[in-house]
Chain A
Amino acid sequence: MQAIRTKIRPVAAKFRLNPVRHHGGPKISADAPTVQFTFVNPHPSQGKSAADEKLTVTARIGETLLQTAHRHDVDLEGACEGVCACSTCHLIFDEDVFDELEEASEDEEDMLDMAFALTATSRLGCQVKVTEEMEGMEVRLPAATRNFYVDGHIPQPH
């Protein structure tokens, strides 16, 4: 596996334009218990050649997968900042892991309907919290390349 240097995004120093009115995800401290799992295709914008790249990360139990991804510089968007109002943090799970997850809310299902390349085991990273059982799992970021257009994919109408 290719070693990838990770940069820690300075979250505290993040410049904000709008006040935090809806906070996305719980605050889990750095000394919380952790598990390790692997993001597949952590940098989708680099195209097909990077699609099988893997990045193993240490995740804090209780935080959302979107939070884990952002702490490790995984290119998972979170356009609405983790409040289930977009579908840009779409993740694809293995079936056995997916089956064990807490069921998605109606709001999450509604947003998933708008996700690109939706699968039967898709969830939103901002709505799924890290659990002990995730130790060793692999979770995939959907490909987001021009292939969508080549394959004749039509974006969901507005």
Chain B
Amino acid sequence: MSRINLIRRQSNLTKKSYYHSTSISLKPKISVAIVGSGPSACYTAKYLSSTLKQQSKKGLLTGTNIDDLERVDIDIMEKLPIPFGLVRMGVAPDHPEVKNVENDFAQLFAPSDSEKEENIESSIEFFGNVGVGTDVSVEELRSLYDVVVLAYGCESDRKLGIPGEDLEGVYSAREFVSWYNGHPDYVHMGEKFQKVLHDPRNSSVVVVGQGNVALDCARILAKGRDGLNDTDIAKHALEVIGDGVKTTTVLGRRGHVQGAFTIKELRELTKLGDTDFIVEMSELEAGNTEATQAELDGKGARPKIRIDKLLRDAAEKSGSASSKKEKQVKLRFLLNPTEFLAKNSDHTRLGQVRCERTKLEGEPGHQRAVGTGGFEDITADMALVSIGYKGVPLPGMDESNFDFKRGVVKNTHGKVHGVENTFVSGWLKRGPSGIIGTNIVDAKDTVSSIIKDLQNVPEDEIEGRYGLQTLLAKKKVQYVDWDGFLKIDKEEKSKTRLRTDSQPREKFTNIDDMLKCL
């Protein structure tokens, strides 16, 4: 123990302790590594830091006396040189207000406010351009840090597993979203999208899935350049989408009351100026089973009731619409894709999506889509599969701590099964659902597990941040710290890069270009 720590520790002995009965000595400094830098990582860092500060002041922490704790270092590892995960790479470019949360997250990394009196010091540092599992292993992190939190989200997706899924023109929504948001790993997809959408105004796209990602894809495809020019959508995406796609059909196997989308995203589709939003009343009625009516009646049904009304209004309007706009977004229900069919002219490329019509069976809240034997083929130059993201394990994980079927880390309230001092939060913990705010409750859940477990942190001195810096230097990994990111951020906003005055930024889509800003 260093001399300073020893002195600090001695001075602690004179502090008045209200919890003689539960005095468990903690080491004076705890080092935490968080893998990933999206909302779940940032909220975990935020609440770990703030809860420890508040608890230490008020002595509310149950079962543990943390008088000894003086400093918490939280290091956030991110594979890309830039932080914030899906806020940057997932949130749609035409939802800039949702990205305001970046300002809140940025406070975490800003120099601490010296005016504040805190019993516990806390510093949060950004380590960008550091791949965990490639540049450093999770075992190395465990040897350097007291606590490791996995918050790297979902880097894969669920597949339909039907014939034709490998045809040219069938892609995952995750690939499409990452591409239009300028993710460096997905720039190469542009060539493929360009090929199948070479004439957007005469093209049809099918989006399979009924969540907000599916609606985002449809909206972006419909809006085109005019609707997106002032956003931070990557330039390469505007070049491909052009003036927008003529017909986009979003479909799923269950009914409109069972959809995973939320009303804000649905309402946006009703307000696209040059695009008709088409809903079939017959499909809404077909899904209106007794069980569905019960779902609309139950506790917490308010969001469903309002979605039901919005879609019925939209269906009535699309039934009576006399004007026909140039583009359309169709929202279809009770259709289960069974096969992707090739074009007659080119058997390597997608031409149609074959769907079986379904009906709902089962109890309220557990209705399943059952095939009816009736089929419909829907023309499609491109299909985006949007039926859920999936987490992938880090090297070294196995069935004991990773649920391969669901793509999540096995955990209890965020504590990873069978691995000491390792935690998980966000999509990797609960699966790919929820909005940014869902991560608040989720992170608090993981943070309370971490705090309850702090007493199990071994007393040994560990190297923490300094150790990581040394290791990265030894491995010749050029990491990007917070100031480095700010330089990249500044360049992205430079007037010379922007197409319009109100565009917030033109993202770098290449890691080398980002590193050149340093």
Interface, chain A (partner B; CB < 8 A): 7, 10, 13-19, 21-22, 43-47, 49-50, 75, 77-81, 83, 85-88, 106-107, 109-111, 113-116, 118, 144-146, 148-149, 155-158
Nearest A residue to B435 via CB reads A114
8 contacts between A and B (CB under 8 A): A17-B102, A18-B96, A81-B97, A83-B97, A110-B263, A155-B442, A156-B434, A157-B433
Interface 9-residue window, one of B110-118, B242-250, B342-350:
B110-118
Is A77's CB under 8 angstroms from B448's CB?
no
Report how far A12 CA is from B303 CA in the complex, Å.
38
Q: What number of residue pairs across chains A and B have CB atoms under 8 A from each other? A: 145
Pick the residue among B47, B101, B303 that contacts A156 (CB under 8 A). Answer: B303
A149 and B434 CA atoms in complex are apart in Å by 14
Main secondary structure of the interface of A (DSSP, over half): loop
Q: Which residues from A are CB-within-8-Å of B434?
A: 155-158
Contact A156 B262 (CB under 8 A): yes
Establish whether residues A111 and B264, one from each chain, have CB atoms under 8 Å apart when the complex forms: yes
Q: Given A155-B433, A156-B438, are A7 and B303 neighbors across the interface (CB < 8 Å)?
A: no
CA distance A114 to B434 in the complex (A): 9
Whether A83 touches B100, Cβ cut-off 8 Å, given contacts A15-B107, A77-B440, A158-B432, is: yes
- The interface residues of chain B lying within 8 Å CB-to-CB of A156 are 262, 303, 433-435, 438
Cα of A88 to Cα of B117 in the assembled complex, Å: 27
Bound-state CA distance A13–B97 (Å) is 21
B102: which A residues are within 8 A, CB to CB? 17-18
Chain A residues with Cβ below 8 Å from B328 are: none
Q: Are B437 and A22 in contact (CB under 8 A)?
A: no
Whether A110 pairs with B60 at a CB distance below 8 angstroms is: no
Q: Is the beta-carbon distance between A7 and B97 smaller than 8 angstroms?
A: no
Q: Are B106 and A145 in contact (CB under 8 A)?
A: no
Question: When the two chains form their complex, are residues B436 and A155 in contact, meaning their CB atoms are under 8 A apart?
Answer: no
A155 shortest CB reach to chain B, Å: 4
A155 to B431, CA, bound (A): 10
Which of B49-57, B275-283, B392-400 lies at the interface with chain A? B49-57
B interface residues, Cβ below 8 angstroms from A: 47, 50-51, 54-55, 58, 60, 62, 95-104, 106-107, 110, 113, 115-116, 211-213, 260, 262-264, 267, 300, 302-303, 306, 413, 430, 432-438, 440-442, 444-445, 447-448, 489, 504
Q: How far is the CB of A126 from chain B (nearest CB, A)?
A: 11
Considering only CB atoms, which chain A residue lies closest to B50 in the complex? Answer: A45
Q: Decide: A46 and B306 in contact? CB cutoff 8 A.
A: no
Contact A158 B113 (CB under 8 A): no
Q: How far is the CB of B236 from chain A (nearest CB, A)?
A: 22
Contact A155–B441 (Cβ < 8 Å):
yes
Q: B211 to A47, Cβ gap below 8 A?
A: no
A83 to B440, CA, bound (A): 18
Closest to A46 in B: B60
Give the residues in chain A near B263, CB-CB below 8 Å: 110, 113
B176 to chain A, nearest CB (A): 16
Contact B103 A85 (CB under 8 A): no
Contacts of A10 in B (CB 8 A): 113, 115
Residue from B97, B103, B113, B430 within 8 A of A155 (CB atoms): B430
Given known A-B contacts A45-B50, A45-B51, A158-B260, A144 and B444 have beta carbons under 8 A apart = yes
Q: Are A79 and B436 in contact (CB under 8 A)?
A: yes
Cα A145 to Cα B51 in complex, Å, equals 13
In-complex Cβ contact of B101 among A50, A79, A107 (8 A): A79
**What residues on A are CB-neighbors of B447 within 8 Å?**
45
Take A17-B102, A17-B106 as given contacts and tell me if A85 and B97 are in contact as well, using a CB distance cutoff of 8 Å. Answer: yes
Q: Say yes or no: A46-B51 contact (C-beta < 8 A), given A116-B441, A156-B438.
A: yes
Residue from A17, A44, A87 in contact with B103 in the complex, judged by beta carbons closer than 8 Å: A17
Assess the B303–A113 pair: CB atoms within 8 A.
Answer: yes
Chain A residues with CB under 8 Å of B98's CB are 80, 85-86
Assembled-state Cα–Cα distance A111/B263 (Å) = 8
With A46-B51, A50-B60 as known contacts, state yes or no: A158 contacts B103, CB within 8 Å. no
- CB of B451 to closest CB in A, whole Å: 10
Known: A80-B100, A113-B263, A155-B433. 6 other contacts (CB 8 A): A15-B106, A43-B54, A46-B54, A46-B60, A79-B104, A158-B213
Contact yes or no, B303 A114, CB < 8 A: yes
In-complex Cβ contact of A118 among B116, B260, B264, B300 (8 A): B300
Q: Which residues of chain A are within 8 angstroms of B50 by Cβ–Cβ distance?
A: 45, 75
Alpha-carbon distance A33/B50, docked complex (angstroms): 32
**A58: shortest Cβ distance to chain B, in Å?**
21
B302 contacts A113, CB within 8 Å? yes
CB distance from A119 to the nearest CB of B (A): 10
Nearest CB of chain B from residue A16's CB, rounded to whole Å = 5
Q: A17-B106, A113-B302 are in contact. Are A45 and B100 (CB under 8 A)?
A: no
For A109, the chain B residues whose CB sits under 8 A away are: 306
CA distance A86 to B413 in the complex (A): 25
Q: Which residues of B contact A85 (CB under 8 A)?
A: 95, 97-98, 100
- Give B482 Cβ to nearest chain A Cβ, in Å: 11
Establish whether residues A81 and B103, one from each chain, have CB atoms under 8 Å apart when the complex forms. Answer: yes
**Please, which residue of chain B has its CB at the minimum distance from the CB of A22?**
B97
Residue of A nearest to B365 (CB): A154
Residue of A nearest to B486 (CB): A17
Contacts of B438 on A, CB cut-off 8 Å? 116, 155-156
- Given A49-B60, A109-B306, A157-B260, A7–B100 Cβ distance below 8 Å? no
